[in-house]
Amino acid sequence: MSFILKRLMLVLSIAMLTNMIAAYSGDATYYETGLGACGTVSKDTDHIVALSTSEYDKGAHCWKHLTVTYQGKSVDVTVVDECPGCGEYGIDLSPSAFSALAPESAGRIPVEWKFT
């Protein structure tokens, strides 16, 4: 393999890895689950997430896993839906996933999240 091709592959690999470990900051809310944009029916007790429209990217992240962190607490969730009302990097969690981080009475919390 040529030197240039090896370097190009290295740069692309690093870029992909960086994207996978990058942490995002946004607001998290919770919603009543049901039929999600990824095509599955979920329950409020499932640990799931809806991504903002820009992050959902027409379903490119369906079934991927995220770790969401708030004040030292973390929860692992699966992408099953789109959140058109969420701001940039905002997410909508199932009630059980939200409750793992804060009481539902908090309503909206600032979180960090990343693909895992």
Is the CA virtual torsion 81, 99, 64, 41 positive or negative? negative
Q: Tell me the domain boundaries of the chain.
A: 24-115
Ramachandran class of 57: left when φ > 0, alpha when ψ lies in -120 to 50, beta otherwise: left
Per-residue pLDDT of the chain (116 residues; tens, 9 = 90+): 665 656 655 555 554 444 456 899 999 999 999 999 999 999 999 999 999 999 999 999 999 999 999 999 999 999 999 999 999 999 999 999 999 999 999 999 999 999 99
CATH architecture of 24-115: Beta Barrel (2.40)
Structure tokens at 76: 């692992």
Q: What pLDDT sits at residue 73?
A: 98
- What's at 65, amino acid-wise? H
- What's at 51, amino acid-wise? L
Count how many residues are written for the chain: 116
Look up the pTM and report it.
0.81
